Amino acid sequence: MYTHRDTSTVILGAMSVTALCSVLLLFVPGVWSGPAVYTVTGVLLSLGVAAYLLRSLSVHVTTTEVTVWFGGGLFRRSVPTRDITDARIRRYPWYYGIGLRFIPRGWLYNARGMTAVEIDIRGNRRLGMGTSEPEALLAAINTARDAGSRNSMH
């Protein structure tokens, strides 16, 4: 019904700068003969794994569920549409950052910017999903909720 993917340009940019600085450390005289080469190698491997896992944020909406996940899908959350009690566009403060965060209002999956669609989930829980298309995502969630409630009546 609706699928959208945002690239994590800030996350990938920060990781690229860190990787570049780590590689430049290898050109410092004496680094190749000491334990720093292992540290730099570890940092580069960790950055590679993190870049793969956090490279993008995807949201998929069907009549039965809303699913949000980062990159390779390790960090994934699905919510049945029947459990969504409300949805709205919300602008979060800059200091909530990007990535997967537990914030005062609940969990936030965010790859870029400060605008998200926040859903209220039965059981007094909330989930924010950062997106570059907040209006389209909100419309898809509301349409899915309406379709799901019509299907459950039959």
Q: What is the pLDDT of residue 116?
A: 97
56-153, what's its fold?
A: PH-domain like (2.30.29)
Q: What is the pLDDT of residues 87-119, one digit of tens each?
A: 999 999 999 988 899 999 899 999 988 999 999
Domain spans in the chain, listed from the N-terminal domain onward: 8-54, 56-153
146: alpha, beta or left, given left = phi > 0 and alpha = psi -120 to 50? alpha
More confident residue, 153 or 93: 93
Compare 46 and 92 and report the one with higher pLDDT.
Answer: 92
β-sheet bridge partners, residue 2: 61
Q: Record the pTM.
A: 0.82
Q: Interhelix angle for 36-54 vs 9-25, to 10°?
A: 170
